[in-house]
Amino acid sequence: MTKVNDAVQDVLDRLVAEGREIGIQVSAWLGEEQIVDCWAGLADAATGRPVDGDTLFNVYSVSKAVTATALHIQAERGLVEYDAPVAAYWPEFAQAGKGDVTLRHVLSHVSGVLRMPPDVTPELMTNWDWMCRRIAEMEGVYPAGSRSSYQSMTFGWMVGEVVRRTDPKRRPFGQFIKEEIADPLGAADLWMGIADAVEPRIARLDAAAVYVAPDNNMMREAQPLIVDLRARSESC
């Protein structure tokens, strides 16, 4: 491990020194052996807090793979069918002409249900029931299956609410992820909804990384600026 790890560490140190990265971690495994475990830079440039092996980073849409895995677990258990309508498990979702949207449509990003509620705020986005209710009430942008368009944020609630409603224990989605995926894998720092106790370990986003989508881009409706998952900048 030492030779490979040292080579990666040298690259990370150089990237930080050149200003191309602010803070970074890399971990790699070969089978059951961890061959890379290194980090460099700052987790919070304002305070000087360094990145270390326990720093937590937002993984953005990597969470979609975890969310989809949760649904696959339910399918493996015979609790959902991919070609069944979402409304078969979540009846309220059929509102506004969405009765024919299937789980396969959602998993494939062809559901047409990609817009966030226009009245969403960061605070309301953390209210699971409110988000699910508003998404259920809204109509799709286009007919299900007619075209592909990335469900940047709505994916999590659409899949997660089906998982929650088909879970015999009716656990909150984050608890389902912890108990059914993270804990069995020994992935103690895989969080879907962060716990207060570990919040100080989170790396702080920097506005230098901001990308602002054009206002006329459908992505802006799917990911409104008010709840954009990137740090704000003057150009926002």
Q: Can you give the residue ranges of every domain in the chain? A: 3-55, 61-190
Q: Are 56 and 49 in contact (CB under 8 A)?
A: no
Q: What is the pLDDT along the chain (236 residues), one digit of tens a residue?
A: 689 999 999 999 999 999 999 999 999 999 989 999 999 999 999 999 999 999 999 998 999 999 999 999 999 999 999 999 999 999 999 999 999 999 999 999 999 999 999 999 999 999 999 999 999 999 999 999 999 999 999 999 999 999 999 999 999 999 999 999 999 999 999 999 998 999 999 999 877 655 555 555 777 788 888 888 765 544 33
29 forms bridges with which residues in the sheet? Answer: 34
Give the pLDDT confidence score for residue 236 in this predicted structure: 34
Is the entire prediction scored with pTM above 0.85? yes
Phi-psi region of 153 (alpha: psi -120 to 50; beta: other; left: phi over 0): alpha
Q: Measured between alpha carbons, how far is 66 from 44 in angstroms, rounded to an integer?
A: 27
Q: What Rg value do the Cα atoms of the chain yield, rounded? A: 20
* Contacts with 38 (C-beta within 8 Å, 6 or more apart), sequence order: 5, 8, 9, 12, 25, 26
Return the CATH superfamily for domain 61-190.
DD-peptidase/beta-lactamase superfamily (3.40.710.10)
